[in-house]
Amino acid sequence: MACLLFLCVLSSMLLHSQAAAPARPRYLDGFLANGNFEQRPSPSNLKKTVIIGKYSLPKWEISGMVEYVSGGPQPDGFYFAIPRGAHAARLGNEASISQTIINLKPGRVYSLTFAATRTCAQDEVLRVSASNRSSDLPIQTLYSSDGGDTYAFAFVATLSRTKVTFHNPGVQEDPACGPLLDAIAIKEMPPLRYTKGNLVKNGGFEIGPHVFKNYSTGVLLLPKIHDIISPLPGWIVESLKPAKYIDSKHFSVPKGLAAIELVGGRETAIAQIIRTVPNKVYSLSFTVGDGKNDCHGSMMVEAFAGKETVKMKYESTGKGGFKPASLKFTATSSRTRLTFYSAFYHTKLNDYGHFCGPVLDDVKVWYI
């Protein structure tokens, strides 16, 4: 009888504790509706590959000449690489696709992750718009030779619903030429907080854009000139070329779930401005390695803090590994800029059309 009474009390305590514990917030993180374009238009709404009808592509609204294409050789002599599925949408001159997203939280930052590549040997631009923001993405530079480039674009939600639009603003010689989209996802960024003992926000790069679970591409983060709101909270991509966000499932990451690969040599730099006390001495530490992706050679990451700099050399065989680095600096003002960039340009060992670089992770600053 005593045992039964004890079990009843224990059960009651467990139920009470579960009811009292606050529910973990659920953040939006995944594909848009038909974001991989595997739901095809009805055959009656297709004229060869061209989609006929504004709402004929399931879950999307289209304007202009939008094609529904499959991967592989094409009748007109092209070859479409679609590494993230079997089908994709191709935007002709002045064509666009759009979708209205609901249940957003006003004031929160959201990031779109999308796979885009050019299909002709011409300059192509993809304009991405959401929540009164737009950015023109130049996609004539291919960072992966298999057409697997993936990009991120961030925006702040002003309302609970917003229309996301992908538009080809170019006028090419061939009206069928235009960007290819084969996967689109969205992620809500959780609030950014300091980690105890570290003045750097998001120093481990754990908060970042959606990463496609089945595709080992990484995500290219646009430079500040294209993306004022960073899809990497806390950090600025202040360079001509993008940086790449990589995850531990598909790459070797020194610590945690994610890191940054500096894929554009001296044209790729990331930075963060931290709060400091003038004339106080601080210590900066970080980790440099390679992503175990056949990126080889003599790598070097240069770091700047205040008036000090350090060059961290790392010899990569492309098989993974990392080394720690550190730097002491004296703050000269109440704000100190931390900047990291790769000193050299790198490509994969057996694929010179695939850009890569050193991996940066675990950035920390503390007061000495």
Residue of 36, 27, 87 whose CA lies nearest to 60: 36
What average pLDDT does range 231-246 have in this prediction? 91
Residue appearing with tokens 């050019």? 118
- Say how far residue 323 (Cα) sits from the centre of its chain: 24
Percent of the residues in the chain that have a pLDDT greater than 70, as a whole number: 86
Top-confidence residue, 160 or 355: 160
**CB burial class (10 A; 0-12, 13-18, 19+) of residue 120?**
middle
Name the H helices within 21-164.
Answer: none
pLDDT of 2 reads: 44
pLDDT of 339 reads: 96
DSSP structure class, residue 64:
S
pLDDT of 219 reads: 94
pLDDT value at 10 more than 60: no
Domain ranges of the chain: 29-188, 219-367
- Chain-wide mean pLDDT for the chain? 86
What average pLDDT does range 164-191 have in this prediction? 85
Residue of 79, 27, 299 whose CA lies nearest to 188: 27
pLDDT value at 225 more than 80: no
pLDDT of 15 reads: 42
Residue 296 pLDDT level (bands cut at 50, 70, 90): confident
pLDDT value at 196 more than 50: yes
Joined tokens for residue 155: 């925006």
Residue appearing with tokens 């009164």? 132
Percent of the residues in the chain that have a pLDDT greater than 90, as a whole number: 58
Joined tokens for residue 345: 């340009």
**Which CATH code of 1.10.10.60, 2.60.120.260, 2.60.40.420, 3.40.50.10490 fits the domain covering 29-188?**
2.60.120.260
Q: Is residue 333 within 8 Å of residue 278, measured between CB atoms? A: yes
Residue 243 pLDDT level (bands cut at 50, 70, 90): very high
Joined tokens for residue 365: 């600053």
**CATH architecture of structural domain 219-367:** Sandwich (2.60)
d(CA 186, CA 4): 50
Name the H helices within the chain.
Answer: 2-20
Q: Which amino acid makes up residue 36?
A: N
Give phi and psi for 183, each to the nearest 5: -165, 135
H/E segment holding residue 46: strand 46-47
The three-point CA angle 29-94-180 to 5° equals 45
d(CA 89, CA 181): 5
> pTM of the full predicted structure?
0.88
Top-confidence residue, 142 or 54: 54
Joined tokens for residue 271: 């930075």
Instruction: Name, of 78-87, 111-120, 291-300, the range with top average pLDDT.
Output: 291-300
The string of DSSP codes covering 190-229 is PPP-PPTT--STTTT--S-S---TT----EEEPPTTT-SS
pLDDT value at 84 more than 90: no
DSSP structure class, residue 106:
T
Residue 193 pLDDT level (bands cut at 50, 70, 90): confident
pLDDT value at 204 more than 50: yes
| Least confident window among 30-39, 126-135, 163-172 | 163-172
pLDDT value at 123 more than 80: no
pLDDT value at 175 more than 70: no
Residue 302 pLDDT level (bands cut at 50, 70, 90): very high
What average pLDDT does range 150-157 have in this prediction? 93
What average pLDDT does range 81-91 have in this prediction? 80
Q: How far is CA 292 from CA 101, 216, 245, 263, in A?
A: 37, 12, 14, 14
| Least confident window among 73-87, 122-136, 343-357 | 73-87
What average pLDDT does range 300-322 have in this prediction? 93
In sequence order, the 6+-apart residues with CB closer than 8 A to the CB of 151 are: 113, 114, 115, 116, 137, 219, 220, 222, 242
DSSP structure class, residue 310:
E
CA atoms 76, 81, 87, 91: torsion sign: negative
